[in-house]
Structure 1
Amino acid sequence: MNQVDYLRISLIDRCNFRCLYCMPEGSQLDYILQQQLLTNEELLTLIEEVFIPVGFTRFRLTGGEPLLRPRVVDLVRAIASFPQTQDLAMTTNGFLLAPIAQSLYDAGLSRINISLDSLDPDIFHQIIGIHGRSRWQEVWDGIQAAYRVGFNPLKLNVVVIPGVNDHEILDLAALTIEKQWHVRFIEFMPIGNGQLFSDRGWVSSAELRQQIRDRWGLTESQVCGAGPADVFQIPGAKGTLGFISQMSECFCDRCNRMRLSADGWLRPCLLNETGQLDLKTALRSGVSTYQLQEQVKNLLVIKPEINFKGRDSGVEGAYSRTMSQIGG
């Protein structure tokens, strides 16, 4: 198993989209109250005095939608300023990105992933659950702004939903030919909207690769990421194509990450709540950061036994929160 040195941090559980693969249509989520969120000061304390001392050096800010978090640029600057921070990335839907892309870059954000599930504004709005063509344009403007200010690599995340956007695979893959963009195709998972998953199923990465191979050819890329994606390249393309195959090709044995929810729960596995720690309550109760270090160390030891245990008993029963609440 890889060294676990990568922490995904959910800054907020709210989102300004209601994506099909994240929230069931018509659902009402119980959002975390403001006072239940980790404050910026608490989060920075946990990073500096708990996570860094036990070996975490790479961090990704997620949500919900992380750009909804107040003072997000200040938070990026503070995390980037720790000498031990080797990499600081963010995953965003891009809607609020364009006006602050330069500020995030200047604050020390290393990399950015932007969700772009369709190039067709109508399909895009069907997926995000909110209508109005400007939403697609705002996201596209955010992508262009991130590229312009110098984020490299710039990654675009695509969740492939059968019968919704799977016919766009070639168009999305073509984005990597002329620009140094990195498109990541993600297999649809039954988190947040199990009914849609039951109705439509999922398309395997192998099928997607074959479509692209038949059109242009496909080679393994020399650019290898540190995450779970298997990386390929269209011959002669400037960018790459990644395939995240959590449904068809389990990669638990090379999982190098943990997840911290916006209300302070440390989770060793996306698909399993076993072993999670309530760090916020402990911190507010006066538990020392040294004691929290020891608890996290113990969780790191048992993480290989926890990873993805929900698969055998049925994935749907292995967790209770939606993807927006977990942080992805």
Structure 2
Amino acid sequence: MSALAPLVDGFGRVHRDLRISLTDRCSLRCTYCMPAEGVPWLPGSTMLSTDELVRITRVAVGQGITEVRLTGGEPLLRPDVVDVVRRIAALDGPNGSPEVSLTTNALRLPALAAPLHDAGLTRVNISLDTLDRERFTALTRRDRLHDTLAGIAAADSVGFAPIKLNAVAMRGVNDDALVPLVRFAVDHGYQMRFIEQMPLDAGHTWDRVQMVTQTEILAALRTAFELTEVPGRGSAPAELWYVDGGPATVGVIASVTAPFCGSCDRVRLTADGQLRSCLFARTETDLRTLLREGADDDALAAAIRTGLAGKKPGHDIDDPSFLQPDRPMSAIGG
């Protein structure tokens, strides 16, 4: 298969970042993601095999994808995650091998950080909504803060850098913990990033009134730190500020109040082989069926381009006609 033009949608956005969900399963039950009893898991027969997943990724890399982010659910629950990383990191496209990163809750990182690093994983993003054990247990419905902190330390010890810590800011839940989280990150050389809560929960209970906005996050941080905006954001989802003059930074992903759709370069592949042009898309492109019906690489590449051609200019969360995706975040992959 020969390389074609860059992966461009109907609005001229070039797509270089592929987010791949390795599984919809998770070892935590975060209140902003799923109910206490969990959600129905995807049937095993619908899940992409490793060969299928790597083949789609190879086609995408051949079309200009330069970064692959592995997500979930919790991607480290996939038994062959180290092999997945190794095989993707070895792919070669017109821009060379892709950078492979991973978003995780870190519970399995004490055992897997070194093998993943050796396999070619370059970076990790780790979810950490609070440093308080009781609050962590209430938020995740699991008493695992110690394991998360151990996972962060393991990632640090093998040389992953930068280590980014992600927290969903929630009113009356952890909005008083923003400053301690930044202090923890700065003290350890990590980058703290706060995320506006998005309408992607399985129970469809999201309420904008309860969401902590970027403006409120920055106001809270400025009570303790001097923040200076970092120029040159590009297509990154997080807007960055230097903390007390730098070099440490803090980021805010303001998908709701300050959307960055105009510079979006991301496309997503679910664990069951559906291509999504946007986190909030209401439609998907079925690559799994194409694969299993014998499609060649050119047909897969054409399907990826067709899926991207239908990408909307923005997610329209603020529009009265906005409808939350049927899939929760755990089934879409971040």
TM-score past 0.5 threshold: yes
For 2:254 and 2:131, how far apart are their aligned partners in 1?
22
- The aligned counterpart of 2:298 is 290
- The aligned counterpart of 1:95 is 107
For 1:224 and 1:25, how far apart are their aligned partners in 2?
37
Asked whether the 8 Å contact 1:9–1:60 carries over to 2, the reply is yes
For 1:265 and 1:311, how far apart are their aligned partners in 2?
26
Aligned residues with identical type, % of pairs: 39
- The aligned counterpart of 1:143 is 152
Asked whether the 8 Å contact 1:177–1:238 carries over to 2, the reply is no
1:111-122 pair list within 5 angstroms: 111-122=123-134
For 1:190 and 1:236, how far apart are their aligned partners in 2?
34
Q: Deviations over 1:146-167 (max 9, x none)?
A: 0111111100000011101110
- The aligned counterpart of 1:34 is 44
**When the two structures are aligned, how many residues end up with a matched partner?**
320
Closer, same or farther: CA 193–42 of 1 in aligned 2, 3 Å: closer
Q: Which amino acid in the other structure matches residue 331 of structure 2? A: Q
- The aligned counterpart of 1:22 is 33
Q: Deviations over 1:231-268 (max 9, x none)?
A: 11212544310100011111111111011000000000
Q: Which amino acid in the other structure matches residue 167 of structure 1? A: D
Asked whether the 8 Å contact 1:94–1:114 carries over to 2, the reply is yes
TM-score by length of 2: 0.90
Q: Deviations over 1:111-146 (max 9, x none)?
A: 10000000001111111122x3xx110000000110
Which secondary structure does the structure 1 equivalent of 2:100 belong to?
A: strand
For 1:287 and 1:98, how far apart are their aligned partners in 2?
40
For 1:57 and 1:209, how far apart are their aligned partners in 2?
32
More helix by share: 1
Identify the match of residue 325 of structure 1 among 295, 318, 331.
331
Closer, same or farther: CA 74–327 of 1 in aligned 2, 3 Å: same
Q: Deviations over 1:63-97 (max 9, x none)?
A: 00000001110110111111333311000001111
C-alpha displacement of 1:191: 1.2
For 1:207 and 1:298, how far apart are their aligned partners in 2?
39
Moved over 6 A (4+): none
Closer, same or farther: CA 218–190 of 1 in aligned 2, 3 Å: same
- The aligned counterpart of 2:315 is 308
- The aligned counterpart of 1:242 is 251
TM-score by length of 1: 0.92
- The aligned counterpart of 2:4 is none
Q: Deviations over 1:203-242 (max 9, x none)?
A: 1111111221232211123685752100112125443101
1:149-188 pair list within 5 angstroms: 149-188=158-197
- The aligned counterpart of 1:278 is 286
Q: Which amino acid in the other structure matches residue 152 of structure 2? A: I
